[in-house]
């Protein structure tokens, strides 16, 4: 079954489609509520600001259909801003998020005097916090590409799938039932990101 990629004006859709093409997985670009109705797997991409993302989803009438598909048990993967939109909201803006996780987004902080910068841009490894099909075939040396200034803070530690580090630990992946989020960009993470996409497609 194809992976439906939500096209709401904020996301690196070309690179995402190319990565799925490399692993032999068909994709569909979906930009309407009707397009979501038959989706068997949904990828929610995103780059930019939190409120801009929520406004774009609402303007296209995608918010409620996306929530309906989540409640129906359809696998959903949010990446980068798409992961943050799965939460209740963000310090970056004022609009409520999708609320699929009891979590919020806060600005990344690095130690005073540190050479580290915000936004966090570059490669980092993950520390797994629980088992997941999404991480099958990946060892502890797997590295992923991040670009972000905000990070997700979960109320329930059981929602944390993996963490990473940038002047302190932050949540890199979340998972609750059929809904998963990755703060990094799988489409920019070479063979490691390819494996994440492969695992998602196999769900």
pLDDT in tens, 7-38: 999 888 999 999 999 999 999 999 999 999 98
Q: Residue 1 has what pLDDT? A: 84
pTM across the whole model:
0.96
Per-residue model confidence as pLDDT tens digits over 67-100: 999 999 999 999 999 999 999 999 999 999 999 9
Q: Which residue has 């902080």 as its token pair? A: 109
Q: Is 80 an active-site residue?
A: yes
- Catalytic residue, candidates 105, 120, 151, 187: 187
Q: Is 187 an active-site residue?
A: yes
- Catalytic residue, candidates 26, 80, 92, 148: 80
- Catalytic residue, candidates 91, 169, 185, 202: 185
């Amino acid at each position: 079954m194809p992976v439906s990629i939500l096209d709401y004006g904020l996301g690196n859709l070309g690179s995402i489609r190319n990565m799925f093409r490399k692993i032999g997985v068909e994709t569909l670009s979906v930009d309407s509520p009707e397009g979501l109705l038959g989706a068997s797997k949904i990828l929610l991409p995103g780059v930019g600001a939190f409120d801009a993302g929520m406004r774009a989803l609402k303007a296209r009438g995608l918010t409620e259909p996306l929530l309906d598909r989540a409640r129906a048990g359809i696998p959903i993967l949010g990446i980068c801003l798409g992961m943050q939109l799965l939460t209740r909201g963000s310090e970056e803006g004022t609009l409520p998020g999708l609320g699929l996780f009891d979590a919020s987004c806060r600005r990344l902080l690095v130690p005073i005097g540190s050479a580290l910068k915000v936004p966090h841009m570059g490669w980092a490894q993950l520390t797994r916090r629980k088992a997941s099909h999404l991480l099958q075939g990946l060892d502890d040396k797997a590295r992923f590409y991040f670009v972000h200034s905000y990070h997700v803070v979960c109320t329930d530690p059981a929602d944390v799938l993996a963490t990473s580090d940038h002047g302190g630990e932050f949540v890199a992946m979340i998972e609750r039932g059929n809904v998963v989020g990755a703060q990094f960009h799988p489409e920019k993470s070479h063979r490691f990101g390819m494996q994440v996409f492969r695992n998602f497609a196999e769900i």
